[in-house]
Amino acid sequence: MLPENLKKELQDRIAAVDHPRELVVDVLFALQAHYGFVTDEAVEEAAGLLGMTPMEVDEVATFYTFVYRRPVGKYVIHVCDSVICWLEGGRSLQEYLSQKLSIAPGETTADGLFTLLPVCCIGYCDRAPAMLINKKVYGPLTPETIDQLLDELREAH
Amino acid sequence: MIKLIIDNLRVEVPPGTRVIDAAEQAGIMIPRFCYHPALGAVGACRVCAVQVLEGSCRGIRMSCMIEAEEGMVISTTDEEAVAFRRQVIEWLMANHPHDCPVCDEGGQCLLQDMTVSGGHGRRRLPVKKRTHIDQHLGPLVVHEMNRCIQCYRCVRFYREYAGYTDLGVMGSAGRVYFGRRSDGVLESPFAGNLIDVCPTGVFTDRPSRFKGRYWDFERTPSVCIHCSLGCRVTVNTRYREVVRVEAAHDPQVNGWFICDRGRYGFPYASSPQRPRSARIDGRKSGVDEALDEAARRLSGIAQRHGSGSVALAASGRVCLETLGALTRFGSEKGWRGPFFRAGPRTAEALQSASKNLEEKISISLKDIEKSDFILLVGCDPVNEAPMLALSVRQARRRGAVVALADARSVQLPLDARRLALRPSQLTAALMRFAGKAVADGGAALSDRARGFLQACRDSRVDPAVDEQIDHLGLAARESRRPVVVCGTSAVAPDTPAAAANVARLLAAEGRKAGFFPVLPGANALALGLAGRTADHGAALREALEKGDVRALVVVETNLSELGFSADDPLLENLEALVVCDCLDSAAGRAARVFIPTQTVFEAGGTFVSAEARVREARPAFRGGTPVAQVSGGGHPPRTFSPDIPGADPLPAWQVLAALAREGTRVSADTLRKALPAPLCGAAPGKRLALPASAPDAFQPPEDPATAADGGLEVVVCEHIFGSEPLSRRAACLQELESAPRLGLHPGDAAALQLSAGQRVAVDCGRGVIEGEIEIVNEMARGVLLVPRLRGIDWHAAADGPLVVAVADIRSVKPNGES
Amino acid sequence: MTAQVLFKNRHPDRIATLAEYRHSGGYEALAKVLADSSRQQVQQVLTDAVLLGRGGAAFPAGVKLSTVAADAPYPRYVVCNADEMEPGTFKDRVLIHADPHQLLEGICLAGFAVDAHEGIIFIRPEYEGAARILEREIALAEKEGLLGQNILGSGFDFDIIVHRSGGRYICGEVTAQLNAIMGRRPNPQQPPPYPTEKGLWDRPTVLQNVETLCCMPHIVRNGADWFKGLARTESGAGTKIFGISGRVRRPGCFELPMGVRLSEIIENHAGGMAEGSRFKACLPGGASTGFLPAEHYDIPMDFESLKQAGNRLGTGAIMVFDHRTCLVGVTLNLMEFFARESCGWCTPCREGLPVIRELLREIEEGRGKPEYVGVLKEMGRHLWNAYCAFAPGAAAPLESLLAHFADEVQEHIERKACPFG
């Protein structure tokens, strides 16, 4: 169930625009922030708020890279695997992350902290190899910077 | 006309024709997967590529995405075009399974055809095939996503064309998935069309799965008899059994599609319960002997009590030939009837709908798609005439205004304006609407039309709704092609005539206005045109009570349609009850003489649809018990006999001829000619020659405003699954039936202190209807909805709408005590 | 140092403030047109300046604005395409972080030129930082009367909102982007109707790239001739933001005259080739341009010159590969990208790209068969018949690999291994 204040906030935003469905991604992001990922229930709630059918919302939700329709960890690591990062050793960094976290790409660590998702070019080719953690960019990366970063995030938790 | 050249052939097409269609006209079938004439061009599959040699867009182009131009030169055999099309097939086959032998689509698969004809036979790609998890989509349609070639036809049909929302496309890139959000029964009653539109085997027919290949079937053009629209279908039979029914294309009526009732309603024909032998006083007999015995008894009764003591009963599912036999032999013998419909109200409604259908205002389903204003009065398209709902939706998609005036909470796959009105208010509401829809004083109108317009302007319904009706009338002023669609079961007896008059009035103003009746039964229009209003179930009941009728011949009719329940004591008074039917029924079991008749699949027959189109069903097979039932399902069958087992049933018209002692060798043609005009001139494929104008045109109803103060008008509601007598026997459709509940408006329920789930008994005078209450928000106040479903004894209200007093409704405990 | 126009206020460590932007002449163009120009005049100066779309398609921006008919219905929309997802491209992010008001003024000018009153910045989710900057600066501009109701007392209203994408490359395609904004699946939609006639919610909509919009205030303020004069070549106009990455010493974004030579960008601005590297090839304008072999090392970088060389300037994102880079591997990586990011609408893109990727993988991993080269050539050619420009974009690197580096492909097959290890 959506908390009243979040529901109200979304309803107000929706009421302020001419075409509610243009907010579908924003609403999905908001529900994702609340639930951790876009649950089946969240799709239905989004549909209700936006005056769309759940199917219409899901057709959009399942399309996008940054809308998670399955559970993810607290920190979602998007490692860039496109050409410049690849050229700069991105693949070995991804393997390093996999090994360090003991998860394969697409998986979440047992403690629910990290999810590793390879992603296409994130637009930080000048900082290759790069990655995003919860939409914040890090790069150029080395095994050392990765170690440090993961430790910091674990500690912050 | 536009002239162009395709593969060195000169082709002439109207402006706006797509090149793919222009080629088809010239006999060149360009391959296609995503293109479908009803669903439009989207350019997704890319397999219809051609080379444009001359024209505004030279080069390789998709023939579905470009329109024919004057002087255009197209090559479909161009080397590059052929190479590209072959490439598309190779790409699609990269992921499509190679298991045609175990796929039910095999033999009827567009992808298979294209792969073979395109010459792609050797795999040169070292790639793994992508796989998906399938969904369970209910009893009608099987889902196998691995076979998908992503043509998007399914979602385009399901969502855009039909307007249902539970099937969609999810994911992106090579992962796109067509299905529901989770497993579950498809909500659309048109879901079976997915099977026809899917070019591969993603959606296949569940009930007929693995029962044969396309080439195993005898395919016969036929007509659907599960409602009054007369959709064209193709019947597939094998081993003395109908295996599958598919939509057949009819540009004027059903287009490319049919509803699930029409597709899956046929199993009654091969039911193991189907009576296949004649019976005399409960004992099996040969059919000749039974015919002889029945004829002997009938003539004995006629001799003793006069010929009028023998009565005939019929229903909207008899074909034109049987109706001809009923008319001819009935009048020759002096028998009463045929009786049809439950009572005076429903009989008059049918009569007024049928006799008001005249040439100028008669329209087709296709015309409805092109109309710009549709008023639906007392009709529930999805449940009573399903394909009508899709036609209305196409009009709505093109911007038409759609309005509903109904007592029920009618659900449509589109947004419509609603007027919740009791049946008794509909006639006045229609007239008030017309009064507003006609802008000027009607100077150009005839005296009679002007008189009707005046009556319209004087019409009042209820101050609470008059304003809404006026709004609607004003909204209709600008329409150029308004249509009034009117049903016969949830209306006042004079509503259909008023609906026709409103259409006439709008047509008299110079608009292209239409009237479309929705009738009870495949041949109801013919019954309405041929029958007498006075011969209805209530009159039959009276005659039975008085002892005027001693023998009853029931022809392909459920007595419930005449308002009799299965165990009606009046039937016991009969000296002879002769039942001729292809269905197993209580009346059939109680009959003194029972004669089995053939179904439409064996006998064929001619039917007149609600839009007066004459449709012919050809015999699909010779009859007999299905091979699977004779040999215990083994293959090949190992039971041998010189004749076909279970082949005793005869066409009903032959049975009637034998009962009249005319012999069974009567010709179907002669029987049709015995019918009154215009039915006698019925020619299959044509429309009936309708009268130029009905005799009672512009006759205002006598007293349009009849209020039912203090009581509830009882409306019997048809359901798409479970109401129609033939299809309700299909097991796969029974799974989809709604729970039977009595519907009440929340306000009425509160006033009666009834709540949802509570059980009540309603005394309808002739019987008591018992059931659970359901609160229905969008329905009219002052109405009780009774579903025509198993589990509810709705017969007592069959001549609805009738009025029951509040005192007649009482709460009961589940075991029936008060 | 060459003339810095768009990067005039760029600081290495911070965002230019509104005051800095105004001090450098910012919002003067807007004030000027609001005071005394017609929308046709704005369209004309942009057309005269030969401002070509910087998002990759190089369509003349002024002409696009003028296709919104004077009597077209309202509301009208301006969409700023900040969905920079072309691999190798990051110039729009740098532009927003450098001087956000330059973009806001550009959007507002485009709005004035078509009499629109709403601007939408469509931005990829990876640029959340940039999205927040824009929202903050929009609010600031509104407070200063530079956006919103009655701008600078002129009576002209214009609002800008930031629309966050859910993240997919196809959303960068014009019609797909409009579908995305409308909350539909972002499948492209072939015109007609054109977006300038029926775009968002069936209303006239003009879509422009961030860099294109950023050029507009400067052109309006300084004139078409000034802008054309910024270019190094006769065929080019203005400056261009080149994002350079790969095997160079100093990857980054540089504003240089249109038509500057590739060699000059690499040697003078990107610090030369990386240690021990020799130039082998580059992708001159993002993933959907072809490999530019070493023979074109001195090519003037403008739209026309690259067209002459059978290539495209694209987004001006230069990805440099050295003699140790396996171009089969690069192409395989690019195909992986394209196959993953296809919207799934048409067969060549959805089915063709994964097949091409697998064939390249076979070759790269030493399982390639000689006949694969022919198959790849055929398939590359057929990609051009896809529904939108996505698959033809993927065809560019593939076809150029097969054309210019056939020996390298052959070597993979013959050795049954990648020669680069």
Q: pLDDT tens, B110-162? A: 999 999 998 898 999 989 999 999 999 999 999 999 999 999 999 999 999 99
Which phi and psi angles does C407 have, rounded to 5°?
A: -65, -40
Q: Are residues C224 and C252 in the same domain?
A: no
pLDDT of residue B709: 64
CA B405 to chain centre: 21
Give yes or no for C368 touching B (CB within 8 A). no
Q: Are residues B235 and B365 in the same domain?
A: no
Please state, in angstroms and rounded to a whole number, the distance separating the CA atoms of residues B344 and B533.
7
3-class DSSP state for residue B740? coil
Of B236, B270, B304, which one is at a domain's C-terminal end? B270
Q: Are residues B168 and B312 in the same domain?
A: no
Q: Is the pLDDT of residue C183 over 80?
A: yes
The answer to whether position B702 is within a domain reads no
Amino acid residing at B444: A
Tokens of C211: 């860099």
Please state, in angstroms and rounded to a whole number, the distance separating the CA atoms of residues C59 and C53.
5
Give yes or no for A59 touching C (CB within 8 A). yes
Q: What is the mean pLDDT of chain C?
A: 96
Q: Are residues B541 and B665 in the same domain?
A: yes
Q: Give span(s): CATH 1.10.10, chain A.
A: 4-63
Which residues of chain C have a CB within 8 Å of the CB of B83?
Answer: 378, 382
DSSP string spanning B631-652? TTT-SS-----SS-TT---B-H
Secondary structure of chain C: what % helix, strand, coil (to 5)? 45, 15, 40
Nearest of B603, B619, B654 to residue B324 by alpha carbon: B654
Q: Are residues C139 and C28 in the same domain?
A: yes
Q: Are residues B511 and B546 in the same domain?
A: no
Band (B817; pLDDT cuts 50, 70, 90)? low
Q: Are residues B69 and B184 in the same domain?
A: no
Maximum distance among all Cα pairs of chain A, rounded to whole angstroms? 50
Q: Is the pLDDT of residue C78 over 80?
A: yes
DSSP string spanning B427-484? HHHHHHHHHHHS-S--TTS-HHHHHHHHHHHT----HHHHHHHHHHHHHHTT-SSEEE
Query: Domain limits at C24?
Result: 18-229
Q: Is the pLDDT of residue C43 over 90?
A: yes
- Note whether C350 contacts B126, CB cutoff 8 Å: no
Amino acid residing at A23: L
3-class DSSP state for residue A6? helix
- Note whether A55 contacts B171, CB cutoff 8 Å: no
**CATH classification at residue B585:** 3.40.50.740
Q: What is the mean pLDDT of residues B766-783?
A: 94
Band (B573; pLDDT cuts 50, 70, 90)? confident
Measured at the CA of A140, the angle between CA C164 and CA C162, to 5 degrees, comes to: 10
- Note whether B91 contacts C355, CB cutoff 8 Å: yes
Give yes or no for C370 touching B (CB within 8 A). no
Q: What is the mean pLDDT of residues C96-104?
A: 98
3-class DSSP state for residue B121? coil
Report strand pairing: B551-555 vs B310-313: parallel
Residues above pLDDT 90, as percent of chain C? 97
Band (C1; pLDDT cuts 50, 70, 90)? low
Q: Are residues C247 and C342 in the same domain?
A: no
Which residues of chain C have a CB within 8 Å of the CB of B87?
Answer: 348, 352, 378-379, 382
Q: Is the pLDDT of residue B541 over 90?
A: yes
**CATH classification at residue C69:** 3.40.50.11540
For B404, half-sphere exposure in the C-beta direction (CA atoms, 13 angstrom radius) is 25
Give yes or no for C264 touching A (CB within 8 A). no
pLDDT of residue B672: 93
- Note whether A83 contacts C87, CB cutoff 8 Å: yes
C-alpha distance from C334 to closest chain B C-alpha (Å): 15
For B322, half-sphere exposure in the C-beta direction (CA atoms, 13 angstrom radius) is 33
Please state, in angstroms and rounded to a whole number, the distance separating the CA atoms of residues B654 and B662.
9
- Note whether C355 contacts B49, CB cutoff 8 Å: no
The answer to whether position C192 is within a domain reads yes
Which residues of chain A have a CB within 8 Å of the CB of B172?
Answer: 62-63
- Note whether A56 contacts B171, CB cutoff 8 Å: no
The answer to whether position C5 is within a domain reads no
Nearest CB to B171 within list A43, A54, A62? A62
- Note whether C346 contacts B60, CB cutoff 8 Å: no
Of B217, B251, B270, which one is at a domain's C-terminal end? B270
pLDDT of residue B813: 79
Chain B contacts to A (CB-CB under 8 A): 165-172, 177, 180-182
Of C322, C342, C374, which one is at a domain's C-terminal end? C322
Nearest CB to B170 within list A40, A53, A59? A59
Q: Are residues C41 and C176 in the same domain?
A: yes
pLDDT of residue B702: 80
Name every residue whose Cβ is closer than 8 Å to that of residue C85 and which is 6 or more positions away in sequence. Answer: A120, A121, A123, C124, C168, C169, C171, C172, C341
The answer to whether position C13 is within a domain reads no
- Chain segment B198-227, per-residue pLDDT in tens: 999 999 999 999 999 999 999 999 999 999
Q: Are residues B379 and B397 in the same domain?
A: yes
C-alpha distance from A40 to closest chain B C-alpha (Å): 9
Nearest of A86, A82, A99, A107 to residue A150 by alpha carbon: A99
Q: Are residues B148 and B214 in the same domain?
A: yes
The answer to whether position B530 is within a domain reads yes
Measured at the CA of C206, the angle between CA C203 and CA C211, to 5 degrees, comes to: 160
Exposure class string for C9-40: b at 16+ Cβ within 10 A, else e? bbeeeebbbbebbeeeebbebbbebbeebebe
Q: Are residues C285 and C223 in the same domain?
A: no
Which residues of chain C have a CB within 8 Å of the CB of B94?
Answer: 351, 354-355
Tokens of B38: 């009803």
Q: How many CB atoms lie within 10 A of CB C361?
A: 18
Predicted structure pTM score: 0.96
Greater pLDDT, B560 or C37 = C37
Residues above pLDDT 90, as percent of chain B? 83
**B185 Rama class: left (phi>0) / alpha (psi -120 to 50) / beta:** beta
Q: For the domain A4-63, what is the CATH code?
A: 1.10.10
Please state, in angstroms and rounded to a whole number, the distance separating the CA atoms of residues B19 and A131.
49
Nearest residue in B to A60, CA atom: B170
The answer to whether position B119 is within a domain reads no
Please state, in angstroms and rounded to a whole number, the distance separating the CA atoms of residues C310 and C288.
13
Band (B441; pLDDT cuts 50, 70, 90)? low
- Provide the chain C residues 315-334 that lie in CB contact (below 8 A) with chain A: 317, 319, 321, 325, 329-330, 333-334
C-alpha distance from C221 to closest chain A C-alpha (Å): 31
The answer to whether position C2 is within a domain reads no
Residues above pLDDT 70, as percent of chain B? 98
Give yes or no for A25 touching C (CB within 8 A). yes
- Note whether C343 contacts B173, CB cutoff 8 Å: yes
Q: Are residues B84 and B133 in the same domain?
A: no
Please state, in angstroms and rounded to a whole number, the distance separating the CA atoms of residues C242 and C230.
15
Work out the angle between the directed axes of helices C353-364 and B79-95 (0-180°, nearest 10).
Answer: 80
Q: What is the mean pLDDT of residues C41-53?
A: 97
Out of A89-98, B451-460, B678-687, C397-406, give the one with best mean pLDDT.
C397-406
Which residues of chain B have a CB within 8 Å of the CB of A40?
Answer: 181-182
Nearest of C421, C338, C410 to residue C380 by alpha carbon: C338
- Chain segment B165-202, per-residue pLDDT in tens: 999 999 999 999 999 999 999 999 999 999 999 999 99
Nearest of B213, B206, B169, B212 to residue B191 by alpha carbon: B206
Name every residue whose Cβ is closer than 8 Å to that of residue B96 and which is 6 or more positions away in sequence. Answer: B111, B129, B146, B147, B149, B200
Contact in structure between B197 and B178 (CB atoms under 8 Å): no
DSSP string spanning C76-114? -EEEEEE---STT--HHHHHHHH-HHHHHHHHHHHHHHH
Q: Are residues C283 and C223 in the same domain?
A: no
Mutate to test the interface with C, among B56, B64, B87 (most CBs of C within 10 A): B87
Q: Are residues C41 and C179 in the same domain?
A: yes
Q: Is the pLDDT of residue B816 over 70?
A: no
The answer to whether position B817 is within a domain reads no
Exposure class string for B749-763: b at 16+ Cβ within 10 A, else e? beebebeeebbbbbe
- Chain segment B631-670, per-residue pLDDT in tens: 776 766 677 788 889 999 999 999 999 999 988 788 888 9
pLDDT of residue B707: 52
Q: What is the mean pLDDT of residues C113-119?
A: 97
C-alpha distance from C273 to closest chain B C-alpha (Å): 37
Q: Are residues B184 and B43 in the same domain?
A: no
Of B225, B253, B270, which one is at a domain's C-terminal end? B270
Contact in structure between C54 and C302 (CB atoms under 8 Å): no
Q: Give span(s): CATH 3.40.30.10, chain A.
A: 75-156
Nearest CB to C348 within list B83, B91, B169? B91
**CATH classification at residue B415:** 3.40.228.10
The answer to whether position B703 is within a domain reads no
Name every residue whose Cβ is closer than 8 Å to that of residue A155 and which is 6 or more positions away in sequence. Answer: none
Q: Are residues C89 and C171 in the same domain?
A: yes
**CATH classification at residue B772:** 2.40.40.20
Q: Are residues C309 and C161 in the same domain?
A: no
- Note whether C339 contacts B173, CB cutoff 8 Å: yes
Q: Is the pLDDT of residue C23 over 60?
A: yes
Of C322, C356, C381, which one is at a domain's C-terminal end? C322
Measured at the CA of C96, the angle between CA C95 and CA C100, to 5 degrees, comes to: 115
Q: What is the mean pLDDT of chain B?
A: 94
Nearest residue in A to C131, CA atom: A135
Which residues of chain B have a CB within 8 Å of the CB of A43?
Answer: 181
Q: How many CB atoms lie within 10 A of CB B124?
A: 13
Tokens of C41: 């005049």
Q: Which of B575-589, B687-701, C131-145 has the lowest mean pLDDT?
A: B687-701
Q: For the domain A75-156, what is the CATH code?
A: 3.40.30.10
Report strand pairing: B809-811 vs B759-763: antiparallel
Q: Are residues B355 and B502 in the same domain?
A: yes
- Chain segment B702-760, per-residue pLDDT in tens: 864 555 567 899 999 999 999 999 999 999 999 999 999 999 999 999 999 999 999 99
Q: Are residues C143 and C194 in the same domain?
A: yes
Q: Are residues B203 and B288 in the same domain?
A: no
Give chain C's domain count. 3
Measured at the CA of B780, the angle between CA B776 and CA B786, to 5 degrees, comes to: 60
Of C208, C229, C250, which one is at a domain's C-terminal end? C229
Facing residues of C81 across strands? Answer: C122, C209
**CATH classification at residue B220:** 2.20.25.90
Contact in structure between C317 and C91 (CB atoms under 8 Å): yes
Which residues of chain B have a CB within 8 Å of the CB of A54?
Answer: 181
What residue ranges in B319-363 does DSSP mark as E strands?
A: 336-339
C-alpha distance from B179 to closest chain A C-alpha (Å): 10
C-alpha to C-alpha distances, B199 to B144, B163, B169, B204, C129, nearest whole angstrom: 13, 21, 17, 10, 47
Give chain B's domain count. 5
- Chain segment B19-75, per-residue pLDDT in tens: 999 999 999 999 999 999 999 999 999 999 999 999 999 999 999 999 999 999 999
Nearest residue in A to C91, CA atom: A123
Query: Domain limits at B775?
Result: 712-812
Q: Are residues B510 and B539 in the same domain?
A: no
Mutate to test the interface with C, among A14, A21, A63 (most CBs of C within 10 A): A63
Q: Is the pLDDT of residue B679 over 80?
A: yes
3-class DSSP state for residue C162? strand
- Chain segment C150-176, per-residue pLDDT in tens: 999 999 999 999 999 999 999 999 999
Q: Are residues C137 and C275 in the same domain?
A: no
Q: Is the pLDDT of residue B799 over 90?
A: no
